[in-house]
Amino acid sequence: MTKVNIMEFFPQYNKSDEVRIIELKALINKYDNAYYIEAQPLISDREYDSLFKELKELEQKNPNLVTPDSPTQRVGSDAIKEFERIQHEKPMLSLANTYSEEEVLDFDRRVREALPNEEIKYVAELKYDGVALSLKYRNGKLDCAVTRGDGFAGDNVTENVKTIKNIPLSIADVKMNGNEIQNFEVRGEVYLTEKDFLRINQFREETGEKTYANPRNLTAGTLKLLDPKLVAQRPLKFVCYYFDSDEIKRESHFDNIKLLKQLGFPVGESVKLCNNLDEVFNFINGWESKRNELAFQIDGIVLKVDSISQQEILGTVARSPRWAIAYKYEAENAQTLLKGITLQVGRTGIITPVAELEPVFLAGSTISRATLHNADYIKERDIRIGDTVMIEKGGEVIPKVIKVVLEKRQPNSVPYSFPEVCPCDLKSPISRLEGEASYLCTHPECPWQIRRRIEHFASRNGMNIEGLGEKVVEQFVELGYLKNVADIYSLHQHSEEIKNLDRWGEKSTVNLLDAIEKSKDTSFHRVLFSLGIRFIGEGSAKILAKHFKNIDKLKSATIEELNSVYEIGNKMAESVEQFFHNEKELEIVERLRTAGVNFQLKEEELVAKDMTLSGKTFVLTGELSSMSRGEAKSKIESLGGKVTATVSKNTSYVVVGDSPGSKYDKALKLGVQILNEEQLLEIINN
């Protein structure tokens, strides 16, 4: 074969550049491993940045020498149009959960009954609270990264995963028992540290964006971003717990973990080979007391049979392995001082009491506030200012006060009396509606209600006006630009003033005004929901829009006519009737109409539709890749189906997306038919 002279094709290329690029890539990979995996930096940030800059410049000069595994390729590629669905070679199983030592003993008994007269060893690992991911390597290089999905197929998130610094893009030649390891699969969890999560949430709060409930939610959302450059801005991390390859014989899970570390992959903070159950329980109990010392969140311990051959004999049941379980820790609680009770006013005027607490560290974060729900909740538990209270926070649940520590109550404490006036500047009287637990501020100009109503109107499930978040609404209300939702469509009159505000400028102002203009074409049922009529949620707004077809027919409907609509009860009917008999609300509706907001079903919505799914009830759980759960709900309902929040024996289907929750487990127990996303789409499309 004739040898090609590369200089003829790339005159700017020279041998010294190629050698230096290879050298720089090896050095940077070495320093990345030391920093991100071993947590032992070998050089200063400035020295590292200098090497990275040199590599980048050489690659720009010699684009033909840029390889997919270069450290410079971690910054993120061009935006992805959609995620490709990829089948797993072996299913990504979900673990059965246990919550007591008795259940662990029962697991051990089942294992020993299936493996009589055999020595059983277990591997105990921390259960990182993250998002499951599969990495496939071909010829030593990262070929693709796939989410768990429904366990059988997931989304190809390779471009996003390349931005995660502690995932090797390629591995050095490694041999085991004389065999070279080049093609293999690694599985693990993508996660965020508590510190990074709090920092990102703080930034979102400052810029008026909605904050995330917990690090796992933020991690899942980040992996599903269509722009890898945005993913690269978030410090995701990866930890491995699984290795599979046809190139070597695998005998021990514990040895696989050691091999992963040898290959340069990040492995768990603590992995222990246990010879007996005493060692297992020591590991479980030890980490229960130490889990808050970790920089990341865990929700328990994973216990696995160590022998791979024994795992194969034990097999699986449903979609869980018989050879592994997850021991879940109970929700944590703590005692702290209740320093005061403040009141928050919602968009409909409902007043919610909030406990102001002596800051206490609980479940990975510092808690200084917790919900008290309503006046009855306080009264039933006799919660008083100055009490020592027990607070609890489990998973993504908002911290709540669960009880008073009575033995620590001060002798001079007095029962809490719910205030008689709204905490807003107007100090208007509050009232309690008959048969309801909550108090209400009914003043039409209550500034707190105004802010909440505008936030609700602009929210993602409402008019979806991007850029009009909580902080921006608060800013514009204080400046007098917004006094009600109709004022949103007059914001263009203040465009020059907005451009000159802090954190604003030409581009952000134009983007906001474009989003406002785009919102005018929102579907009628979402506009109706956005108006914030009390007791009218997304589902009931859809029912009313479908029945009355436009705002004028709905506006003139009597209580009897409203009551006659299926699933519209007395409270809803009365609330709708009151809303459209309120002069101020009618004025706002007319202003919105004049601005061009859509107040009727669109032509395509009026056309008779296929009702294939009539009588079928669906429950959605986990993240869907091709659409949001809200979009899936709309598609199901457009075909006559019903979407509910809870699984029961009457549920027709449970649709399982990426990282499903307890609804999936309940569906398995009840024998409800499970659909993955592809099967749902097939039903919808056919």
pLDDT digits (tens, 9 = 90+) for 631-670: 788 788 878 888 887 888 889 999 988 777 778 888 888 8
Residue 37: is its pLDDT beyond 60?
no
Q: Which CATH architecture has domain 447-605?
A: Orthogonal Bundle (1.10)
pLDDT of residue 75: 54
Q: Mean of the pLDDT values across residues 618-640?
A: 81
CA atoms within 13 A on the CB side of 12: 8
Q: Which CATH architecture has domain 6-75?
A: Orthogonal Bundle (1.10)
How far apart are the C-alpha atoms of 533 and 575, rounded to whole Å?
7
How far apart are the C-alpha atoms of 307 and 253, rounded to whole Å?
6
How far apart are the C-alpha atoms of 565 and 138, rounded to whole Å?
60
Across the chain, what does the average pLDDT equal? 85
How far apart are the C-alpha atoms of 372 and 385, rounded to whole Å?
12
What is the biggest distance separating any 2 CA atoms in the chain, rounded to whole angstroms? Answer: 97
Q: How confident is the model at residue 214 (pLDDT cuts 50, 70, 90)?
A: confident
- Using DSSP's 3-state secondary structure scheme, residue 597 falls into coil
pLDDT in tens, 109-165: 999 999 999 999 999 999 998 999 999 999 889 999 999 887 888 889 998 999 998
How far apart are the C-alpha atoms of 72 and 24, rounded to whole Å?
11
Domain boundaries, the chain: 6-75, 96-328, 333-432, 447-605, 608-685
Q: How confident is the model at residue 3 (pLDDT cuts 50, 70, 90)?
A: very low
141-147: strand order across its sheet: 141-147, 131-138, 184-191, 237-244
Angstrom distances, CA of residue 128 to CA of 34, 248, 619: 22, 28, 27
What is the pTM assigned to this prediction?
A: 0.54
- Where does residue 557 rank: exposed (0-12), middle (13-18), buried (19+ CB within 10 A)? buried
Q: Who wins on pLDDT, 79 or 275?
A: 275
In sequence order, the 6+-apart residues with CB closer than 8 A to the CB of 278 are: none
Q: Mean of the pLDDT values across residues 86-105?
A: 90
Range 333-432 has CATH code 3.20.20.60 = no
Task: Of 204-218, 329-343, 377-391, give the range with the top mean pLDDT.
Answer: 377-391
CB atoms under 10 Å from CB of 174, counted, come to 15
Question: Quick one: which of 52, 64, 69, 75 has its CA closest to 17?
Answer: 64
pLDDT of residue 566: 67
How far apart are the C-alpha atoms of 108 and 454, rounded to whole Å?
56
Q: How confident is the model at residue 41 (pLDDT cuts 50, 70, 90)?
A: low
Question: Quick one: which of 502, 37, 76 has its CA closest to 266?
Answer: 37
Q: Mean of the pLDDT values across residues 310-318?
A: 89
Question: Quick one: which of 666, 623, 630 has its CA closest to 648?
Answer: 666
- Using DSSP's 3-state secondary structure scheme, residue 335 falls into strand
Q: How confident is the model at residue 204 (pLDDT cuts 50, 70, 90)?
A: low
pLDDT of residue 540: 85
pLDDT in tens, 524-546: 999 999 998 988 888 789 889 98
Two structure tokens written together for 367: 């808690």
Q: To 5 degrees, how large is the angle CA 302–CA 629–CA 677? A: 70
Q: Among all residues, which ones are annotated catalytic? A: 127
pLDDT of residue 652: 92
Two structure tokens written together for 581: 């008999």
How far apart are the C-alpha atoms of 248 and 334, rounded to whole Å?
49
Q: 608-685: what fold?
A: Rossmann fold (3.40.50)
Q: 96-328: what fold?
A: D-amino Acid Aminotransferase; Chain A, domain 1 (3.30.470)
Q: Where are the alpha helices (DSSP H) in 621-676?
A: 629-638, 662-670
Strand-pair category, 324-328 with 271-274: unpaired
Q: Mean of the pLDDT values across residues 2-16?
A: 49
Torsion of CA 63, 67, 68, 70, to 10 degrees: -100
φ, ψ at 357 (rounded to 5°)? -110, 155
Q: How many residues does the structure list for the chain?
A: 686
Residue 338: is its pLDDT beyond 50?
yes
Q: Who wins on pLDDT, 273 or 645?
A: 273
Strand-pair category, 617-621 with 653-656: parallel
CA torsion sign, 458 to 460 to 465 to 468?
A: positive
Domains 96-328 and 447-605 share a fold: no
